[in-house]
Amino acid sequence: MDSAEILRAKDQSLEHLRGIYGDEAETIIADRRYGFISGVLKDVMKRPAIERLTWSDRIDRVIVNRWLGIPLFLAIMYAMFQFTFTLSAPLMDWIGAGFDFIAARAVGISPDWLGSLIGDGIIGGVGTVLTFIPPIFLLFIAIAILEDSGYMARAAFVMDRLMHKVGLHGRSFIPMVLGFGCNIPAIMATRTIEDPKDRLITILINPLMSCGARLPIYILLAAAFFPAHRGLVVFSMYLIGIILAILMALIFRKWLLPGPIGHFVMELPPYRLPTITGVLVHMWERGEMFLIKAGTIIAGVVVFIWFLSSMPWGVEYASANSWIGQLGRLIAPIFGPCGFGQWQAAVSLFFGFLAKETVVGTMGAIFAVKEGSLGTAIASQLSWTPLVAYAFMVFALLYTPCVAAVATIKAETNSWKWPAFTVGYELALAWVMATLIYQIGRLFVG
Amino acid sequence: MAEEITIALAGNPNSGKTTVFNNLTGTHQHVGNWPGVTVERKEGVCRYGDHRIKVVDLPGVYSLTAYSLDELIARDFIVEERPDVVVDIVDASNLERNLYLTVQILEMGARLIVALNMMDEADERGYRIDIEHLSYHLGAPVVPMVANRNRGTEELLGEIVKLAEIERTECLRINYGREVEEEIAKLERLISQSALSQKYSPRWLAVKLLEEDEEIIKKFKGAGVG
């Protein structure tokens, strides 16, 4: 049988049915399936005469309330960061003390260069990154609890109205929230969005959502420069990320990928009490990657940075004349207007492209702090003010997604055009925002 | 004598599919990607009696159209790889919406078990479900479960093994109304003479053509003269 003939027959059938029903066959078929289901259910299921208002419905009256929804979402996020910091601070101190102890032993190792590699490079770099295990894992626990309990679906529902204003659907908010863990699975999660343009916009704005790998940068600098307002400062980073993501979505929708908003029913799964196993499994799914990265890519980069810091032979470790200093001095002028035109800041951002944890890893290796904290070393050696630190945090939040995220955007959009575009617009956005914050802030705080 | 059975887990998002998967496979899991795409593919193994059961977790979907990647992956696995049994995890507190997927899988002629999950929540809402009767209407076994308390896993495994040994059952036939049925019959006659009917049920292909399913249309275009 000729396939073309079958397809022609199909078109005739569709035409015929359109004539009868005035509608597409697809709709009639779906209606009939639902009809079958409701027929079966009438037969096999008894519902109470009045649907009981479950406790889930009652909670929703408050949570997804038109006026309370967004303030509650912000309050829950703020509580999440406070929880993360309060609990993780002592744990971080213990891990830090542990590494200091090992680093002190490393000084005695001969030959000198090996002691330096272990003490300055590996412990200074990888050790610094590993110190951030507690806050990262605690944040992932908090996200897992919010997800498993059913709250995240509500957050998307609450944001639906706002998302519609910028030309996206509330569904696009779910990948955004997932981005707080890691942008890679978040970008993959956009495949549930059917409209290709909606999906593309959601992908493009996703890296603006602050992932777990950026958290060490905020914690480090917030503790050193804003000791009294740590939680608030870190919270503000996430908020800036969300606000800019929504603004960029608006811009992309208007000028880059115009189109109508798709129609979807947002679903609200019932609330469930999260189980401990479930929460731990989800925490581990996200956290595992952080540990693997620390052991592979970050360790590799840190050793490379140690090498660049020790070369040319005989140079003072990590001085301006070392190779890394020369590289840093080459790029640093770009960051002058942002307030952090020092070469150390420039190289750490440069290597942060490989993985955002590397920003603190690089600083750890360069400063190789023997006593006191890395944060105070940055404050004293770079003579940063809180304003500069804040501008730096904003830059680190917004600038180019990491290599792995870029590769994911390439895979998901199946072209190099969109990853290149994302890197470009984010670098520009980060530079402009950091410069604005620094230059305007300087008018007020000198 | 050990026998290997391949099962696929299908179900709506939030139906507890992941929990059922974890209950079945424990730590024997393997995560990879579906061929050609970066969608995660989870697989696991579980043993039951003499049987080694390979469990493939399909993406969570509401329907099996060709509109989204997830739906296409789930559908392709069921039609192309033909697992021995498809287990459809259904949220008992939300039957109306969940059964839409069930019906579509049954129409494909898959050997299906309905895992009626979250029975506790259905109870809480005051729903009373006649399991046997539901099973009769769908022509598929129905196993009540509360997956997050690991209730019903043994019964599900029992049904899987039982169903895997049965010859392919009759597909569910939904009556689409006289006019649509007439067109389905016409197309079915033409399709049954084409090569594609060797691999797929002609009725299913006919319905899919009327739904203007792009993937199926592509298959026909690709088949040329059969």
Amino acid at A399: Y
Distance in Å, alpha carbon of A54 to nearest chain B alpha carbon:
7
**CA distances for A223 relative to A70, A389, B126, angstroms:** 28, 11, 52
B168 has pLDDT over 80: no
Inform me whether the pLDDT recorded for B44 exceeds 80: yes
Residues 6+ apart with CB under 8 A from A192: A171, A174, B13, B68, B70
As a whole number of angstroms, the distance between CA A410 and CA A418 comes to 7
**B28 in any annotated domain:** yes
Per the structure, the count of domains in chain B is 2
Q: How many CB pairs below 8 Å do chains A and B form together?
A: 146
CA distance A337 to chain B (A): 40
- Cβ-nearest to B179 among A7, A10, A20: A20
A16 closest CA partner among B181, B215, B192, B101: B181
Tell me, yes or no, whether B29 and B135 share the same domain: yes
> Rounded CA gap, B137 and A121, in Å?
68
Residues B183 and B159 in one domain: no
User: What average pLDDT does the segment A142-149 reach?
Assistant: 83
Rounded distance between C-alpha atoms, residue B151 and residue B124, angstroms: 17
Residues B116 and B204 grouped into a single domain: no
Q: What is the pLDDT of residue A40?
A: 87
β pairing state of B85-91 and B51-57 = unpaired
Considering the domain architecture, whether residues B91 and B30 belong to the same structural domain is answered as yes
Q: Which residues of B touch A44 (CB under 8 A)?
A: 129-130, 133-134, 137
Query: Please, which contacts does A255-260 make with residues 24 or more away whose CB atoms are closer than 8 Å?
Result: A256/A201, A257/A197, A257/A200, A257/A201, A259/A167, A259/A195, A259/A197, A259/A198
B85 beta partners: B7
Nearest CA in chain B to A27: B211
Residue B79 belongs to a domain: yes
Restricting to A residues 400-419, those with a Cβ less than 8 Å away from any Cβ of B are 408, 411-412
DSSP SS3 for A208: helix
Beta bridge partners of B45: B54
CATH of the domain at B138: 3.40.50.300
- What pLDDT is attached to residue A276? 83
Q: What is the pLDDT of residue A303?
A: 81
Structure tokens at A163: 């998302």
| Chain A (214-273) residues lying within 8 Å, Cβ to Cβ, of chain B | 267, 269-270, 272
Q: Is residue B70 part of a domain?
A: yes
Structural domain that includes position B196: 178-223
Looking at B164, B190, B205, which one is the last position of a domain? B164
Q: What are phi and psi of A259, to 5 degrees?
A: 175, 165
Same domain assignment for residues B37 and B129: yes
- Backbone angles phi and psi of B55, in degrees to 5: -110, 120
Asked if the Cβ–Cβ distance from A51 to B180 is below 8 Å, we say no
Same domain, B15 and B58: yes
Residue A68: Cβ within 10 Å count = 14
How many CB atoms lie under 10 A from the CB of residue B61? Answer: 22
Average the pLDDT over B140-153 and give the result. 92
* Confidence band for A280, pLDDT divided at 50, 70 and 90: confident
Residue A267 has pLDDT above 80, yes or no: no
| B194: nearest CB among A6, A10, A281 | A6
State whether B13 and B119 are in the same domain.
yes
Q: For residue B172, is it within any domain?
A: no
Please check whether residue B171 lies inside any domain of the structure: no
Q: Which residues contact A284 (CB under 8 A, 6 or more apart)?
A: none
Question: Is B134 within 8 Å of A40 when comparing Cβ atoms?
Answer: yes
pLDDT band at residue A11, thresholds of 50, 70 and 90?
A: very high
Residue B28 pLDDT class (50, 70, 90 cuts)? confident
Evaluate if pTM is beyond 0.90.
no
Q: Which of A227-241, A284-298, A395-409, B73-87 has the lowest mean pLDDT?
A: A284-298
Strand partners, B112: B86
From the number of C-beta atoms within 10 Å of its C-beta (0-12, 13-18, 19+), residue A265 rates as: exposed
Contact check, Cβ <8 Å, B210/A408: no
Q: What residues have CB less than 8 Å from A141, skipping those under 6 apart?
A: A279, A280, A283
Contacts of B194 in chain A (CB under 8 A): 1, 3, 6
Q: For residue B95, tell me if it sits in a domain.
A: yes
B135 domain-assigned: yes
Are B154 and B196 within one domain?
Answer: no
Q: What does the alpha-carbon distance between residue A338 and residue B200 come to, in Å, rounded to a whole number? A: 63
Judgement on whether residues B183 and B160 belong to the same structural domain of the protein = no
With CA atoms as reference, report the closest residue to A319 among A370, A396, A381: A381
Contact list in B for residue A54 (CB cut-off 8 A) is: 124-125
pLDDT-derived band at B77, boundaries 50, 70, 90: very high
User: Closest Cα of chain B to A112: distance in Å?
Assistant: 44
Residue B137 has its nearest CB partner, among A40, A48, A412, at A40
The beta-carbon neighbor of A269 closest among B14, B96, B134 is B14
Residues 6+ apart with CB under 8 A from A64: A154, A157, A158, A268
Q: Work out the minimum CA distance from A199 to partner chain B, whole angstroms.
A: 11
Among B164, B189, B209, residue at a domain's last position: B164
Can you give A284-321 as a three-state secondary structure string?
Answer: HHHHHHHHHHHHHHHHHHHHHHHHHHHCCCCCCCCCCC
pLDDT tens-place string over residues A12-26? 999 998 888 877 888
Task: Looking at the structure, tell me whether residues B207 and B97 fall in a common domain.
Answer: no
Q: How confident is the model at residue A316 (pLDDT cuts 50, 70, 90)?
A: confident
Neighbours of A333 (CB within 10 A): 11
- List of E strands, A48-153: none
- pLDDT-derived band at A438, boundaries 50, 70, 90: very high
Secondary structure of B7-39 in the HEC alphabet? EEEEECCCCCHHHHHHHHHCCCEEEEECCCCCC
- B223 and A3 within 8 Å at the Cβ level: the answer is yes
Neighbours of A431 (CB within 10 A): 17
Chain B residue numbers touching A5 (CB-CB < 8 A): 190
Is A199 or A167 the better-scoring residue by pLDDT? Answer: A199
> Has residue B191 been placed in a domain?
yes
Q: How far, in Å, CA of A320 to CA of A309, rounded? A: 9
Same domain, B83 and B189: no
B76 contacts B63 by C-beta, under 8 angstroms: no
Spatial CB neighbours of A105, under 8 Å, sequence gap ≥ 6: none
Would the pLDDT of A174 be above 60?
A: yes
CA distances from B161 to A82, B84, B90, B116, B209 (A): 50, 10, 20, 18, 34
Report chain A residues whose CB lies below 8 A from the CB of B186: 9, 13
**Cα–Cα dist A51/A67, whole Å:** 26
pLDDT tens figures, A323-377: 888 888 888 888 889 888 888 889 889 888 888 888 888 888 788 665 557 888 8
- A1 and B193 within 8 Å at the Cβ level: the answer is yes
- Contact at 8 Å (CB) between A212 and A136? yes
Do B27 and B127 sit in the same domain of this protein? Answer: yes
The chain A residue lying nearest B128, using CA atoms, is A46
**Residue ranges of A 150-179 with Cβ closer than 8 A to chain B:** 153
The predicted structure's pLDDT at residue B225: 46
Tell whether the model's pLDDT for residue B36 goes beyond 80: no
Q: Would you call B190 and A36 a contact, using CB atoms and an 8 Å cutoff? A: no
| Mutant choice from B63, B213, B220 vs A, greatest count of A C-beta within 10 A | B220
Contact, B138 vs B106, CB < 8 A?
Answer: yes
What mean pLDDT, rounded, does chain B reach?
Answer: 87
